[in-house]
Amino acid sequence: MRRLLAAAATALLLASCAQAPQTTAPRNEVTARQVSLPDTLPPMKAFASAHVTPPMRPNGEIAGDFLDLAFALESGRKLPVLTRFEAPIRVAVRGNAPAILQADLDRLLSRLRIEAGIDIRRAAPGEGASVTLEVIPKARLQALVPDAACFVAPNVSSWSEYRRLRNRPETDWTRMSSRSRMAIFLPGDVAPQEMRDCLHEELAQAIGPVNDLYRLSDSVFNDDNFHTILTGFDMLILRAYYAPELHSGMSRAEVAARLPAILARLNPGGGTGAPVTRPATPRAWKEAIETAAGTGGDESSRRRAAERAVQLARGAGWYDTRLAFSLFVQGRLSLGVDSRLALASFQEAERIYRSLPGTELQAANMGVQLAAYALSGGRAREAIGIVDNHIEAVRKAQNAALLSTLLAIKAEALDMLGRDREAALLRLDSLGWARYGFGSPAQVARRMQEIAAIAARGRRG
């Protein structure tokens, strides 16, 4: 399940409450210059092909991750056996699926065939579907599962069937011994990027592991929502999941015995070795971070939960993605309330992410906040430098919302320096990506206005 996160990387709430670090001001203090959008927005941009980086970690560590992903649910409940499809996988689409979602699905199915070696494709007319992707209104989905942006359910093929069998033994993952039918439910009235992000995570869980691990830095199987498309690690996990040496019904011990040879064959650069077992993330930290990053409760309670998550991470001696994510959430919740704490949190989180392998995208999500601070302080060249340091990682990760935001910040900074023509061209580029990342013209205009508000503060400073 892809969770709704109020303080998530994908939310990108860079509103006018972003401020120079030496001040603390009410949220609506800044009046930005009005942003004039073109009468006709430039065409929507979309990513054509994925730039996949193979996992760089040892195979023993990856094997441990595989086992923790494959034999537990997000709730912590254990799965007694491995389950997967034992026949070719056929995918059908129901509901009002936009053309851009259909195109994203075709690209993803192609990647799964090529990179994961899985026999998966669209169901032919009249052919039964293994996986049914049903597009429904966001309000209907969240009326039933409030914390979900989208989710997958076993042993059903429609929304009506899921509603009827929900909380019944038929839809209990722990009772399964194999997979024959899966249904993915995602909203069709959200931005194209949000639909694509749901598609990648939920299809991966429909055919592969259903767990998420906060410790993973290079995977969509992580509730921090930084990665939005399947990574090289994810494709390796799925390729191993469908290795001929494995089959549905195998126990954790049986899979663990065969994994070293499987991974040595599929990922020879990772070496050999038995699965490395890592301590489970304490439930207390998970509850604190999920409260802080979630959509329930008031902002004050979420800020207290974020502070608790940071304290727990420090107390556990972590210097990894979990501490960095705690700091990121704390920083986001401190914007407009305690800007010194927000800035310090983003800076420390960026240092941690920069110290870890394969976390360039996470660092970029800190960078966009730091670039906004530089812009709000009138430090145009600093803002441009920060954007330039992170832009390539964001393109590779195919995060159009973040890419658009970075480009818009840079355009405002160029305006400050009197480089109007460069700024205008960059702003058009930003708008093209914003149409994919944010969706409607109203949402695009709102994002541009938020960034202009940040720049307005810098011009006055």
CATH number of the domain residue 172 falls in: 3.40.390.10
On whether residue 52 sits in a domain, the answer given is no
The residue among 270, 295, 323 that closes a domain is: 270
Would residue 291 be called left, alpha or beta, if left means φ above 0 and alpha means ψ between -120 and 50 degrees?
A: alpha
On whether residue 277 sits in a domain, the answer given is no
Which amino acid would we find at residue 345? S
Pair (168, 25) in one structural domain: no
Pair (20, 107) in one structural domain: no
Pair (261, 306) in one structural domain: no
On whether residue 99 sits in a domain, the answer given is yes
What is the model's pLDDT at position 26? 32
Pair (286, 266) in one structural domain: no
Pair (41, 64) in one structural domain: no
On whether residue 320 sits in a domain, the answer given is yes
Pair (412, 388) in one structural domain: yes
What is the model's pLDDT at position 34? 56
Instruction: Name the pLDDT band for 379 (thresholds 50, 70, 90).
Output: very high
Pair (122, 180) in one structural domain: yes
Pair (69, 22) in one structural domain: no
Contact between 445 and 426 under an 8 Å Cβ cutoff? The reply is no
Name the residue range of residue 406's domain: 2-46+282-460
For the domain that residue 286 is a member of, what is the CATH number?
Answer: 1.25.40.10
pTM beyond 0.85, yes or no: yes
Q: What pLDDT digit, counting tens, does each position of 258-306 carry?
A: 999 999 999 999 998 889 988 989 999 999 999 999 888 889 999 999 9
On whether residue 53 sits in a domain, the answer given is no
On whether residue 276 sits in a domain, the answer given is no
The residue among 236, 270, 304 that closes a domain is: 270
The span from the first CA to the last CA of the chain, in angstroms, equals 44
On whether residue 41 sits in a domain, the answer given is yes
Q: Which of 50-59, 348-357, 379-388 has the lowest mean pLDDT?
A: 50-59
What is the model's pLDDT at position 36? 60
The residue among 249, 270, 291 that closes a domain is: 270
What is the model's pLDDT at position 14? 47
Pair (266, 196) in one structural domain: yes
Q: How many domains does the chain have?
A: 2
Pair (133, 183) in one structural domain: yes
Residue 315 burial (CB count, 10 A): 10
Pair (65, 203) in one structural domain: yes
Pair (266, 286) in one structural domain: no
On whether residue 377 sits in a domain, the answer given is yes
